[in-house]
Amino acid sequence: MYKSPNLPFGLPWRQPANPLVEVATQVPSQPEIVPPEDTETLETMARVLEVTGNYKILRRLVPRSVEPRPTAGRIGLIIDLETTGLDTTRNEVMEIAAIKFGYADDRITSIIGTFQGFQQPSAPIDPAITALTGITDAMVEGHHIDSASLEQFVSDTHIIIAHNAGFDRKVAERHWPFFANCHWACSATGIDWKAHGLSGARLAYLLSEYGLFHDAHRALDDCRAVLEILALDLPGTELSGLAALLDRARRPQHRVWADGAPFALKDTLKQRGYRWNDGTDGRPKAWYVDVDAVDAELDYLRKEIYRRDDLDIAWRTITSLDRFSTRI
């Protein structure tokens, strides 16, 4: 520790000035950065940064304009739900949003309309859910989603798309049974994003790979984000995201149940893509997998798992009418 020297005549001691401190205090404050107001200048600045190769610029997603007009093609619907929790059997819908669009030759041709509504749940919203979604009790108080209006909006669509259809379809059908009569597709799992160089399927990540960002976890904003990634071509191709998704949705799959499979081979089944069902939903308490080629999978189970060529194995066909529902 530095000690003050003994000075004569009882003079007070003062620590010598630190020149580095003096220099630091003389550094002028940085001026406030005021961005230009015109979009053209901002875009030029963004491009200058991009061409250096040292920056990646994300642009805010600008919603496509709604231009309702008759379409010669088909009609699709993108839907998103905000709920009080993640339990599809009991949690309630707080908000629903949907975008109706026209498409032809597997490309989006028009935005026909939007639907959005809040609904007050039976209990106060968990603060953690409010933190995630931004939806407060005050926003939903007194609100109720009109089922008749929603059904009319959905009635003429050929396909319903959700970015987590395994969740959204179950919740939607529990609240509004007419959704059970619709064809469904999942933009998160129905496109092989990894095959196109994208390492994940989270909506914010996919948008960022296209150089975009949005305000996440609000239903209508998420619908607009899904619309955008479906309208754009997959990286390195001339194939739209919608085309890839519809191709998957149109092809049936087959759910195969490995009921009674030897416990010692559970890791083998898991590595092959099988998932465990605990039986609480009324379906078999067994491992299962969804495959395109059912005969090959049945042959594999008989030879490698059960080792019985004459064994009957339960399986059923899945189409977009029941895929992601509780009926399979």
Task: Give the tens place of pLDDT for each residue, 97-126.
Answer: 999 999 999 999 999 999 999 999 999 999
Average pLDDT over residues 203-226: 93
Residue 37 lies in a domain: no
Give the pair of three-digit tokens for residue 136.
Answer: 């407060």
Judge if 246 and 108 occupy the same domain: yes
Domain boundary (250, 268, 293) is at 250
Decide if pLDDT at 2 tops 60: no
The pLDDT score that the predictor gives to residue 222 is: 96
Nearest residue to 186 via CA among 212, 166, 200, 205: 166
What is the rounded average pLDDT of the residues 231-257?
A: 97
**Residue recorded with tokens 């509504």:** 117
Residues 218 and 82 in one domain: yes
Is the pLDDT assigned to residue 24 strictly greater than 70? no
My answer on whether 198 and 84 are in the same domain is yes
Do strands 74-83 and 93-104 pair parallel, antiparallel, or not at all (unpaired)? antiparallel
| First CA to last CA distance, the chain | 76
Distance CA 170, CA 85 (A): 13
What's the confidence (pLDDT) of residue 72?
74
What CATH number does residue 195 fall under?
Answer: 3.30.420.10
Contacts for 259 with CB less than 8 Å, ≥ 6 apart: 284, 286, 313, 314
Mark residue 237 as left, alpha or beta (left: phi above 0; alpha: psi -120 to 50; beta: remaining).
beta
243 and 277 both lie in a single domain: no
Task: In whole angstroms, give the CA distance from residue 169 to residue 185.
Answer: 10
- Per DSSP, 265 falls in state G
Give residue 141's identity as a one-letter amino acid code: E
pLDDT of residue 15: 59
User: If you average pLDDT over residues 14-23, what whole number do you get?
Assistant: 57
The helix/strand/coil state of 197 is coil
Out of 250, 276, 294, a domain closes at: 250
- Looking up tokens 């179950």 gives 170
Q: What are the pLDDT digits (tens) for 261-306?
A: 999 999 999 999 999 999 998 899 999 999 999 999 999 999 999 9
Closest C-alpha to 165, from 282, 80, 278: 80
69 in a structural domain: no
pTM: 0.85
Does position 320 have pLDDT exceeding 70, yes or no? yes
Q: Do 158 and 292 belong together in one domain?
A: no
DSSP string, 10-23: GPPP-PPP-HHHHH
* Same domain for 214 and 267: no
Contacts of 89 (CB under 8 A, 6+ apart): 170, 174
Percentage of residues in the chain having pLDDT higher than 70? 90
Residue 13 lies in a domain: no
pLDDT, one tens digit per residue, over 137-192 is 999 999 999 999 999 999 999 999 999 999 999 999 999 999 999 999 999 999 99
Residue 125: inside a domain: yes
Q: What does the buried/exposed string (b/e) look like for 52-91 if buried means 16 or more CB atoms within 10 Å of the residue's CB?
A: eeeeeeeeebebeeeeeeeeebbbbbbbbbbbbeeebeeb
Given a cut of 80, whether residue 128 has pLDDT beyond it is: yes
Are residues 81 and 230 both part of a single domain?
yes
Both 151 and 266 in one domain: the answer is: no
With a cut of 60, say whether residue 6 has pLDDT above it.
Answer: no
Tell me what pLDDT residue 327 has. 92
Arithmetic mean of pLDDT, 21-34 = 64
What's the pLDDT band for 311 if we cut at 50, 70, 90? very high
**Residues β-bridged to residue 162:** 186
pLDDT of residue 67: 84
pLDDT score for 11:
52
What's the structural domain count of the chain?
2
58 φ, ψ to 5°? Answer: -105, 130
Of 221, 250, 279, at which residue does a domain stop?
A: 250
pLDDT at 91 over 60: yes
| Unique residue bearing structure tokens 């008989």 | 302
Task: Place 14 in a pLDDT band, splitting at 50, 70 and 90.
Answer: low
* Same domain assignment for residues 258 and 243: no
Provide the percentage of residues in the chain whose pLDDT is more than 90: 79
Q: Based on the domain organization, do 90 and 127 belong to the same domain? A: yes
Kindly report which listed range (25-29, 49-53, 121-125, 186-190) carries the lowest average pLDDT score: 25-29
pLDDT at 31: 74
Encoded tokens for 98: 């949907």
Pairwise CA distance, residues 176 & 172, whole Å: 6
Claim to verify: residue 166 and residue 240 sit in the same structural domain: yes
What's the mean per-residue pLDDT of the chain? 91
Are residue 88 and residue 236 in the same domain, yes or no? yes
Q: Is residue 99 part of a domain?
A: yes
Mean pLDDT in residue range 18-45: 71
Inside any domain, residue 266: yes
For residue 104, is it within any domain? Answer: yes
pLDDT at 42: 85
Predicted local distance difference test score (pLDDT) of residue 157: 97
Residue 259 placed within a domain: yes
CB 167 within 8 A of CB 86: yes
- Give the structural domain span for 305: 253-318
